[in-house]
Amino acid sequence: MTLEQILTQQVVAAAQALYDIQATPQQVQLQKTRPEFEGDITLVVFPFVKAARKAPAQVAQEIGEWLVANSQGLIAGYNAVQGFLNLKIAQHFFVEQLREIAADDNYGRQPENGKLMMVEYSSPNTNKPLHLGHVRNNLLGYSIAKIQEANGWKVVKTNIVNDRGIHICKSMLAWLKFGNGETPESTGKKGDHLIGDYYVRFDKEYRKQIAELVAGGMDEETAKKEAPLIKEAQAMLLRWEQNDPEVRALWARMNEWVYAGFDETYKRMGVSFDKIYYESNTYLEGKSEVEKGLASGQFYRRPDGSVWANLEKDGLDEKLLLRSDGTSVYMTQDIGTAKLRYQDYPIDKMVYVVGNEQEYHFKVLSILLDRLGFPFGKELVHFSYGMVELPNGKMKSREGTVVDADDLMDKMVEDAKEIYLQKSGDSNNIKQSQTISNEESNEIARKVGLGALKYFILKVDPRKNMLFNPEESIDFNGNTGPFIQYTYARIRSVLRKAGELGDLGGLGNLGSLDPKELTLIQRLMEYPAVVRQAGQDFSPAVLCNYAYALACDFNSFYHDCSILNEPDQQKRALRLLLSQTVARTICDAMSLLGIEVPERM
């Protein structure tokens, strides 16, 4: 039982004993005592004032006296400031809390709730490698899945690969025309990078054709439709949907190149999936459902043969579901994918991790699924997150101006290694650096570089747009991943030097706790509530803020309180136990963010 739960019960009992008030736990308002007042936790007494028929200050005074007399030593003292009762908690309570936290291997995590949540993230196209925008999507999705698991959900991590459509045909067509049979093996390139090059090449040649048509007197909009390349790509898409064996064979071959590249990037990024769906397998299910909706009058066909949904009664406009040539759109695919997922799993909550530019899309999807008779239609959750922006503007994959995920990770690890070597060359770190092998140094750089990237992205409120700054992210000071990782490594170094923790039996007889010790214990006590809040808000940033605050608290404690050289053996044991528990909690919080922490730095 938490301190808040214990105090709530006692305050309810005090209200009954003093004023014959049948108070509910919801009426008990507790908050952390403000720094300018003495105390650990503050009770707001205004909810009891009217029934007590006394002034707020008197009610606070009387409840304080009752709690000191009846709390079995939990309340060591109090002070009343008008309608606020500041309570001083007996220090033996915090020592006991520390022991309980240290003994609980699952501290902060909730028992399984028997429900299943599916979290979709990544959703790449097979015409280009993953870029910075995908990095934020993958890191958010993976962390949200880990956080929900810590909150008791069984989680299925899923990915929908957009492996068909006009954009895929553009890369295929460019490779046929300009590739000269290149393969990942012949070029030494990852398959996703090779295909991405041809997507950019298509756009380059397409623009040339548009310019030539415009120069010949055609208006630009017409030129975009009449350019030979785009017409060939559209014809290829139609052949694909008609199961043309030649087009399908090329498509399968090039997609395999891309999947191998994706797998390498995902592994390096530290994300994974339990189930992968492919648009090429789900779009026919979607087309079938659209045809059923057409037959039942839910949708209608225009004279050109295209199929639409009229959403005006829902406050929206009309939505295309099938093109005039019978080919499907993203919405069609998403209908089919949703149907298959609910056939495959007993999903209680479906969460789509998709950028905020798709909010309208998911509103429409929810309405259409509901119209088609799927009971889960109204229950879909679109986790809408903001875009990643760069100092020089937005990314454009067609023009080849994206920040490639692989290149970004390379740069982060390279920078981390350079900074690490600079730090290890410092006179204060030479001794440690001489004991670390080159292999371990590379592994530390990998963890620090990727940790810097992940933390910088996840610490921002996910619903906000963000500016990614690699230099700022890898700083070893301030609110960064490397700062927290360094704090963890510092604690592990202390614990290695200490060896055994020592006798913990007499920790209840320590006398007074140092304020820095007390602050750390109180911060540790907050962890379960932080994990719950992160789950309720779908916000890894909540955990980032906590991990940073915990690291700051420890460094302040480390600066002011001797650990290894503390002469009092009981106090030394307490501080080692406290350090050990902080390290474990940092490690756990960072693991929910998908971040590794090195044992040494």
Backbone phi, psi, residue 267, to 5° = -60, -45
Q: Are strands 116-120 and 349-355 parallel, antiparallel or unpaired?
A: parallel
Look at residue 443 and give its three-state secondary structure. helix
Q: Residue 187: which residues within 8 A CB-CB, separation 6 or more?
A: 194
Interhelix angle for 132-150 vs 569-592, to 10°? 120
Question: What digits encode the pLDDT tens for the residues 59-90?
Answer: 999 999 999 999 999 999 999 999 999 999 99
Closest residue by Cα to residue 229 from 163, 165, 171, 164:
171
The span from the first CA to the last CA of the chain, in angstroms, equals 37
Residue type, 53: R
Sign for the pseudo-dihedral over CA of 388, 394, 397, 403? negative
The correct CATH number of 3-89 out of 3.40.1160.10, 3.30.1360.70, 3.30.470.20, 3.40.50.1220 is 3.30.1360.70
pLDDT of the residue at 470: 79
Structure tokens at 135: 């990095």
pLDDT of the residue at 426: 52
pLDDT of the residue at 512: 80
pLDDT of the residue at 392: 58
pLDDT of the residue at 397: 42
Closest residue by Cα to residue 254 from 188, 170, 130:
170
Structure tokens at 255: 């997609």
Q: What is the mean pLDDT of each run of 10 residues along the chain (601 residues)?
A: 89 96 94 91 96 95 96 94 95 92 96 96 94 94 98 98 93 96 96 95 96 96 96 94 95 97 97 96 93 95 96 94 88 94 94 94 95 89 88 47 85 89 57 69 94 96 88 87 96 90 52 88 95 97 98 97 92 94 98 97 86
pLDDT of the residue at 436: 78
Q: Give CA–CA dist 138/119, Å, rounded.
A: 11
Task: Compute, in degrees rounded to 10, the torsion defined by CA atoms 498, 499, 502, 507.
Answer: 50
CATH fold, domain 406-592, is Isoleucyl-tRNA Synthetase; Domain 1 (1.10.730)
Q: What residue ranges of the chain are covered by domains with CATH 1.10.730.10?
A: 406-592
Q: Give CA–CA dist 243/248, Å, rounded.
A: 6
pLDDT of the residue at 424: 63
Q: What residue ranges of the chain are covered by domains with CATH 3.30.1360.70?
A: 3-89
pLDDT of the residue at 390: 66
